Amino acid sequence: MNIQTLLFSILCFALIGCYKKEHKAEMAHANFKYIPDVIDKRKYSGEYELFVSSERDSSTCSFILRENREYMFIQYCTFPHTRYSQYDPISGGLKIVSYNEMLTELDECLGILSEKRDIKKLVSFTFGLSDLGDVAVSATNNYNRCHPNDDNYNSDDVLKAVSETSLINDFNEILCKYGVEVYKLECPEYIVFLVKKERFLMLSTLDKKSHVPERVIDMPIEITLRELRCNK
């Protein structure tokens, strides 16, 4: 082996070592934090925030867990007030995640939650439709295709459009590992909003190259859960 080959080999091993060290430092992990100010002490005995972070940044999405003696409820929100001050669109601090990344983070957060709680007590998962990126686009396109000249945006029709996306299957793929499954989709508040395309794209990361309509439907949606009926 000549001197050039030897030096090249040493350099390669050094670069690989640096890469592994850096990669290890940036590995994400789930967090489970107590929120001292319970939103409604008459209904909930405790409130917690679950989110994924690394040394470099943390996710814009949070899963807010509220519980009482019998049940648990999760609300998915983006840019939560607990960490919003960390967000800087230029330097980072908070990472805007895609729908698929949110699913991965949900799985990680349920994993850490399962070590502390019985997830079969989890009865609902609520979110705003426009926070789901690709699913919001798909649901809006489904609705516009079936109701091309209808600007009334009936909530039942929107729910049907959402049910025709991959949402239910995606959630069940994660939830079944913890003994629960999707029972039905509901709209806790019968109100529909429209988000302009520019704002939607500014606050979203899309995985799919789908047609994004000029206005994306937003609506509060609740996924009601139940104990898994059979093994899948």
pLDDT digits (tens, 9 = 90+) for 117-163: 899 999 999 999 999 999 999 999 999 999 988 888 889 999 999 99
Q: Range of 203's domain?
A: 29-227
Tokens 């670069």 belong to: 15
2: in domain: no
- Pair of tokens at residue 167: 């949402």
Contact predicate 49/82, CB 8 Å = yes
13 part of a folded domain? no
Q: pLDDT tens digits for 47-105?
A: 788 888 776 667 778 898 888 888 999 999 887 655 544 445 444 567 888 999 999 99
Structural tokens at position 182: 């999707």
Q: Are 61 and 102 in contact (CB under 8 A)?
A: yes
E strand or H helix at 95, and its extent?
strand 94-95
Residue 23 belongs to a domain: no
Instruction: State the pTM of this model.
Output: 0.78
Q: With respect to residue 138, please indicate whether it lies within any of the assigned structural domains.
A: yes
Name the nearest CA neighbour of 67 among 43, 87, 90.
Answer: 43
Return the pLDDT at 94: 72
CB atoms under 10 Å from CB of 149, counted, come to 5
In a domain, 8, yes or no: no
Instruction: Determine, yes or no, domain membership for 52.
Output: yes
Could you tell me if residue 84 is inside a domain? yes
Residue 55: what pLDDT? Answer: 67
Q: What is the count of structural domains for the chain?
A: 1
Higher pLDDT, 225 or 56: 225
Is 166 within the bounds of a domain?
A: yes
